[in-house]
Amino acid sequence: MEFDFAEEQPKFLMLMYGLIAFVAVVGGLLLLLDVVPAWFARRREAQLVTASVSGAPLPRRRKQGEGLFALFFLLPTLLLLTVGLVVPAIRTTLLSLMDGSSTNWVGLRNYSWMFSDDSIVRVLINTLVWVILVPLVATGFGLIYAVLVDKARFEAVAKSLIFLPMAISFVGASIIWKFVYAYRGEGDQIGLLNQIVVSLGGEPKQWLLESPLNTLLLIVIMVWIQAGFAMVVLSAAIKAIPGDIVEAARLDGVSPWQMFWRITMPSIRPALIVVIVTLTIATLKVFDIVRTSTNGNYDTSVIASEMYNQAFRYGQNGQGSALAVFLFILVIPVVIYQIRNLRQQREG
């Protein structure tokens, strides 16, 4: 197959325009962030020098000027949030009140469909199972890893190996585990799980086709990825426990089990909350694992994958938008709880 540059020239031009626009925007922002603060600093320095030479009182900073200065730096962020979050959220909410073609208003019909259709109720149950199991199991394994490798001989190597799955994308991890669950009829198996079953005298199975076992097997993928993240955060929290507290507990003759429950757990409670909240939000939005492994078939779909299917595969924009709004509503309480928790820690 020969490459015709003339036919592909419009694509290259679009790519070049995009690169130029990217360089212009990023370069302009960096230039402003460098020039504007330097200008204010030189201006302030000149005022101080003039006041010291003339013997006049030092000029005070004007609060109005500081407010405008702060607004200048916040404006790009506010603009991006408005364009990338606020406007799409409002549009999605409006679409959720319309029919599949986004032409007629149907009110709350899409939301009533969500809780009355058996297949969608199954999706909601699957999402609930994910949200319950993934944060708890991943945090549990991360805590076990953190305690076991703490001050071990090859601690750095062990942490690197445990954290390694975090460097793999969800799609890549799903492909790896699809090979683990692979099924090839009778005889030799290419899937690790089926090969183990056959070597123990059992029969190979199509694991990803059996519900609800397939949902639990997909959860294993998420736990495998996120346990390393939990381990790193909790390990840092364990190392931050003051040494005098640990030494005092040892002098009191506490056992390792008592040390864990009475010293370690209360000390790392804020880190545990951060890990669980972070994993809960990530689990609510899980899409890649389900999409890559089963495409949401065989009763494995979750809210994010079903939202994609309804909006882009079935052409039901209203139902897909309703699922998106419902997912957004589920995330909000978790975010609010985390904000309040961080505020309490800061005030405490």
The residue to which tokens 């294993």 are assigned:
220
| Helix %, strand %, coil % of the chain (to 5) | 80, 0, 20
Nearest CA to 133 out of 307, 302, 333, 267 is that of 302
- pTM score above 0.85: no
* 348 CB burial (10 A radius; 0-12, 13-18, 19+): exposed
Geometric angle at alpha carbon 33, from 28 and 36, rounded to 5°: 105
Cα(259)–Cα(248) distance, integer angstroms: 11
Q: Would you state the pLDDT for residue 217?
A: 94
How large is the angle between the packed helices 269-284 and 118-149, nearest 10 degrees?
A: 150
pLDDT, residue 307, reads 92
> In a structure prediction context, what are the per-residue pLDDT tens digits for the chain, which is 348 residues long?
455 666 767 777 888 888 888 888 777 777 776 776 777 777 777 777 776 776 666 556 555 556 666 777 777 778 888 888 888 889 999 999 998 888 889 889 999 998 988 999 999 999 999 999 999 999 999 999 888 887 777 888 888 888 888 888 899 999 999 999 988 877 677 888 888 888 888 888 888 998 889 999 999 999 999 999 999 999 988 888 888 888 888 888 888 888 888 888 888 888 899 899 999 999 998 999 999 999 888 889 999 999 999 988 888 899 999 999 999 888 888 888 888 887 877 776
Q: From 217, 48, 19, 49, select the one nearest 133 (Cα to Cα).
A: 217
In angstroms, the CA 157 to CA 141 distance is 17
Predicted pLDDT at 138: 94
- pLDDT score at 65: 57
Is the bond preceding residue 212 a cis peptide, omega within 30 degrees? yes
For the four alpha carbons of 166, 168, 170 and 174, in that order, the dihedral sign comes to negative
pLDDT at 335: 84
Alpha carbon 301 to its chain's center: 19
